[in-house]
Structure 1
Amino acid sequence: MSARFDALSRIGPVARPLLERVDEVLVAYGAPPGHPIWAHLRRLGTTPADAVAFFVDGNPAPLRAAAERLRAQAEAYRATPVPTEVRWEGSTADIYAARATALRGHAEVMTGRLGATAFYVDEVATWWDESRTALAVALAEVLTSTQAITVTSGGAAVTTETLVAAADVGAHVLAAVAAAHDDGQGLLRGGADLGELAFVPPADPARRVDATIDLHH
């Protein structure tokens, strides 16, 4: 599903005023000592509103399009013939056969590498989709909570109750962000080999002085 039409794209703007108020309270007054939000803040290094904005702005659709282009490129490599046999003999024929064989092997490896990369890109897009869905659920939960009412109904005044409520909302949202972060890190560690795969031609075989060409009329 396009990010423009999923749950997070709809609920994110609705939740923004609440999250911005939560950020204001946390930045100005901090959170109660020992509150779970401190662990999330230290680990993620971001506030609830900024974390949600990052996921709201993410769009997995271009990744899926890129994966399709990679598969098309892999198919092009697979379909491109590299003849390794020629109708002449001699040093030039030996050199050609060796390089053509190496090139065909390289193309086969490239085909596999592109396919693996496309699969990895699809996995990243799926991670975006699943993370956005989980975060949308978390936002729906905080929007309907008594803590949200406490944070938004107090006006400019910030009481101890407001501070605790803001920390509760922020911790719930950041817990969903932390789970997505962990899944993304696992995907990164187990991802495809994305390094450059350069073609290394083989050493030329020893040259021969004889050469014949097979001509057919």
Structure 2
Amino acid sequence: MSKRHTQKHKIDRRLGENIWGRPKSPLNARAYGPGQHGQRRKSKLSDFGIQLRAKQKLKGYYGSITEKAFKRVYAEAARRRGDTGENLIGILESRLDAIVYRAKFVPTVFAARQFVNHGHVQVNGKRVNIPSYNVQPGDVISIRERSKQLTIVLEAVQLAERDVPDYVDADHSKMTATFVRVPALSDVPYPVQMEPNLVVEFYSR
């Protein structure tokens, strides 16, 4: 599992975009990359550079998944029938930590991974502590009874900066969420443009 603490804010600064759309992003105050050379004019990216950047942005959005794990997700997306880019988004959005985040049980994708790891989440009544667990349409995700009053949960459900998408049916009074369906790229409320087609091109080289 990749570890991110204060360094996670450098992800959006390095990419030059507030990829989670958070008001506390340092990019809002310093719209340039980190480090002493961050304000230098950037040279034009090559096709490879554009593809790499698209991959890093998508990988970073989901809690900076490790390269090994992300390649496994891509391989599964390529194996399935249909558009590989759409499959890739569908698999990423079917992760347990992604759904916990979408349901607004936690404020960030990083918090979602830790929340699942610490055993606060159940799927269909059974505790699951694997963030990458593949949730199926119709599965019910719930917060364990003893975890429902945690400050992080109570504050997250009140956040006004994002809404629960329509492919997740969340009931904050019961702290449950049903994964309604696997979303398409156009359904996912990314704050910035994601380009899974470029990720496919990157791995297809």
Sort the TM-score into its range (normalised by shorter chain). Answer: under 0.3
More strand by share: 2
More helix by share: 1
TM (normalized to structure 2)? 0.23
- The higher relative CO (CA closer than 8 Å, separation ≥ 6) is in 1
TM (normalized to structure 1)? 0.22
Larger Rg: 1
